Structure formats: structure tokens, C-alpha cells
Amino acid sequence: MTTALLPRAAAQRTEVLVGTGALSFDDVVAVARDDARVSLDPAAVTAMTRSAAVIADLASDTRPHYGVSTGFGALATKQIPVELRAQLQRSLVRSHAAGTGPEVEREVVRALMLLRLSTLATGRTGVRASVADTYAAVLNAGITPIVGEYGSLGCSGDLAPLAHCALALLGEGDVRDASGVLVPASEALSAAGIEPVILTEKEGLSLINGTDGMLGMLVLALTDLRRLITTADLAAAMSVEGLRGTDAVFAADLQELRPHPGQRDSAANMRAVLAGSGLLPSGVGFTRVQDAYSLRCAPQVHGGVRDTIAHAALVAERELASAVDNPAVTADGRVESNGNFHGAPVAYALDFLAIVSADLASMSERRTDRFLDVSRNHGLNAFLADDPGVDSGHMIAQYTQAGIVSELKRLGAPASVDSIPSSAMQEDHVSMGWAAARKLRRSVDGLARVLAVEILTAARAIDMRSPLQPSPVTAAVVAALRASVPGPGTDRYLAPEIAASHAMVMDGSLLEAARAAGGELV
């Protein structure tokens, strides 16, 4: 299973200004996915110069200052002589660049680097503006440090991943250049005309001490999930049509009896899709007054997912407005140790999103399964097969869904409830936020694939209901799908059809078709 990468709905941005204020979700996505260039706000340069001067003033101080004149973690009691402090920073970066496993995706590394640059630009880290300039230059040159899957405990931030990025600034380690070729960092920097950084007091620590990896993955996942939850509303409405269910339960006044905003919005989306449908039974002879939960309760479940996304987005927005470093340079010039690097707030949000992704996919799979069972699909062929027995129809497409859903349920087990002490018990409680983010990426990918199978199946069922006609919105979605996937017939090679549906879920073209036909979907 690969990671879902949904393109942005807005026009591609070409530049992001990094300053003392918070980045937006669009800023992160533009740099991570669209290779937008970054530039530093002059106000940020001023703030960095001011805080770097504070650190420089401490360089000859005889008192211990964490990250300036002491060791790190459990070695914080070790006083470092002035002549060894540059080596201290280099040694920190080299020793902490200890990740292993498969390469982390380019978009994640770019998001991580942008967010670290954003914290540097706040002027709360004591890092010189020249270091931030080099960081920006590496991003703009399309150079991507190699970061391994494993190495972060989410506290003190994403140490190992950030250390691999910091190592590249020193001209050490491996990177991929703008064309994706694996090269030594020294070679990539030279080709781009970038001078390696020579670190001074505290700078090595400030380059690696943040929640940037887990936050970057949270922002990317939220960007994807906002589109997928609307796609889920579309899929559910199409399933209601294909199964000849009732839309009466989605009435606005019924939703107002339980005023969760997500439920309200999902129900409104489903009403918009179903408006004008000729497939919804009514009048004489209709005796089914209640549909199964996977149809009837879709707004409640989908709405709960929407509200969870909104909560996680609030966490992400707060984190984007943060300056995560330890120690931090305060506004009045103090250098103070703190615990802001702990990833717990982000880790909880990441785990919560994995839980609701699994449940959303589970409900989608249950709707798909109803289409295939003659005892529940209200007059359709078994498995939607052309000639059941000779043909198997969508039987195994549901198996594929079930396999994914089963994995998503395992991925829904929270990472943040675990903690393994490190650094000789100095760091005795960690967040595991990086692990929560890694599994969420798989969850988002799996959810997109499950929804793609439901839409493919619902469209086939709707076509098999002919001459009854679906709503105008559904008809437009089915027509868009039929541009890549033929209608019902004898068994065909099914994997490409699932892939085509998945691609249209990914690129948003099915939602675009629905909206173009008058579906005001949020």
C-alpha cells in the first residue's frame, strides 16, 4: 500500500514567505508537494539576529547553559570548554542522525524542513539568520536529505529525522538532488552553489529539537482527509441510491435534533447528491421504513469524522503558531529550558484521525457488501455479476476492501499510549508522535482505496437499475467515472478499474463532477 497524495484544489502557489507568524496549511502543502520556493521575511531576519546575539553573549559565560555550554539529555551536567563548543554542535548532529529503515517520502521531508525553518524564523532559537538562509536555499534547490522510517520517539521532538536534515546543511550524509538522484550532500550543495554551514553555540540543538516531522504529516493528512470525508458523503449517497434506500432520514430538521456541525454538513451533502433521484422509492408499495445503519447513520458517523478533523486542525494550527525549541530565547532575552518539544498534543490528534479513518472505511465497506448480497441488495444480481456463477462481478473487490479495513483497524491502535524511556531515564516519557504520523499516512491511503471501491460498486449498481435514473449529481459522477471505466458487463480485469476509480478519488475529479452538476458539497 502506498501513501495517498492528493493534489491541491487551489491554483499552485510558487512562493511562501516565512516570517515570525504562523504558516498556513496551504503554505505547507505548497512547499511539500508543489515545490514552492521559500523566502525569509526581513522581520524574521531581524528577530533571528537579535536572539543570536543573546546566545553569543553567553558563549564566554562561566555558568552552565543547556545547549550552549553543556552536553545534552542525560549528559546535561557536563560542562563543555569554549574551544570544544563548535565540535559539540557538530557531534550532536552527527550522533543524532541515527535513523534507519526505508526512506521517508519527499513531501514529508520537505514539510519537516519548512516547519523547522519557520521555528528558526521566530527568533526564539538563537540561530543566526545565515543558518536559516542556508536551510531555505537547500529547500529551494530541491535537495532532499535522506531520512529513515525509524528513529524518532516524538520527544525531544523528531530528533533523528531533523538531525539527518541538519547533517545535510553541514555537507555530510546523503541526499536526493532535484532530479531524485542519490548523491552525497557535499556534492549536491556544491552543485547548487550552497556553502555548508559551520555551527556555533546552540545551533545544532536548535536544528533538531522540534515536532516538525509529526506536524508536517498531520497537516498533509488533514489536507487529504478534508477531501476524503466529502468523497465519503458522495459515496454514501450513491450507495443509498443504488440500494434504493430512503433519503427521508437526512432531512435538515432531523439533523437539528442533534446539532453536531459535522453531522449537519454530511447530511446536507447527501441531500445535495440525492436531490431529484428517480431511484429513491416512495409512495404505494414501499414498505421499507428504515435502512441499515451503514446507510441511515452515515451522517452521524461521517459527521463524527468531520468534527474530529476539525479538532485535529485546531491542534495543527496551534502548533504551526508555535516556536518549539529547548532552551528557548524569550522576548525579554532570557534563555530558558522548557518542555515544549514534547509531541503529545500532536500525537493524540494523529492517533484520533487514524481511529476515525478506520471507522469511516469500515462503514464504506459495509455499504459495498450490501450491494453484493441478493438478500440485501433489493433486486440486483448476486455480486453485481453479469451472469452469476459464470461471472463473479465485484466479489473480490469487496475482499480487497475488507483486507484494507482490517489493516486500518490495526493501525487505529494508538501509538501515543506507549512510551519507552530513553537517555538514561532523563527522557522518561515520550510521545511516539512520529509513529502515530507514519501509521496515519497508511490509514489515509487505505481509506481512499476503500472509498474508490464503494464508488465503483455503487456506479455499477446504479447502471444496473436502468431505466430508472439517478439524481443529476450522481449521473454526472457516474459519467465521469465511465470516461475511464466501462459500464456493467461480463467479468473483466478488475484491478485497472479499481485503480482508475482510486485515481479519480485522489485527483478530486469525481467531486468536481458532482459540484459541476449542482451538488453544493462542503
Using DSSP's 3-state secondary structure scheme, residue 284 falls into coil
- Round to whole Å and give the CA distance between 223 and 108: 13
Taking alpha carbons only, the member of 303, 309, 218, 216 closest to residue 267 is 303
Distance of CA 175 to the CA centre of its chain: 23
Residue in this structure with the C-alpha cell 492517533, named with its chain if needed: 351
For residue 282, what is its C-alpha cell? Answer: 416512495
Residue in this structure with the C-alpha cell 538514561, named with its chain if needed: 424
- Round to whole Å and give the CA distance between 117 and 517: 43
Q: Which ranges of 181-245 would DSSP assign to H, the alpha helix?
A: 185-192, 203-208, 212-242
**Residues 140-164: b if buried by 16+ CB within 10 A, e if exposed:** bbbbbbbbbeebbbbbbbbbbbbbb
- Round to whole Å and give the CA distance between 119 and 135: 12
- Round to whole Å and give the CA distance between 38 and 53: 25
Kindly report whether the peptide bond that precedes residue 145 is cis, defined as omega within 30 degrees of 0: no
Q: Is-contact 220 8, C-beta < 8 A? A: no
For the annotated catalytic residues, the residue numbers are 66
Q: Is-contact 207 151, C-beta < 8 A? A: no
- Round to whole Å and give the CA distance between 339 and 341: 5
For residue 70, what is its C-alpha cell? Answer: 553543556
H-run or E-run covering 418: none
For residue 300, what is its C-alpha cell? Answer: 452521524
Concatenate the DSSP letters of all residues of 12-78 into one string. PP-EEEE-SSPPPHHHHHHHHHH--EEEE-HHHHHHHHHHHHHHHHHTT-SS--TTTTB--GGGTT-
- Round to whole Å and give the CA distance between 432 and 356: 19
- Round to whole Å and give the CA distance between 403 and 302: 21
Q: Which residues, listed in sequence order, are joined to residue 70 by a DSSP beta bridge?
A: 79
Residue in this structure with the C-alpha cell 514534547, named with its chain if needed: 342
- Round to whole Å and give the CA distance between 499 and 484: 10
Taking alpha carbons only, the member of 457, 462, 439 closest to residue 402 is 457
Tell how strand 144-145 and strand 148-150 pair up. Answer: unpaired
Taking alpha carbons only, the member of 279, 246, 242, 239 closest to residue 468 is 279
Q: Is-contact 202 127, C-beta < 8 A? A: yes
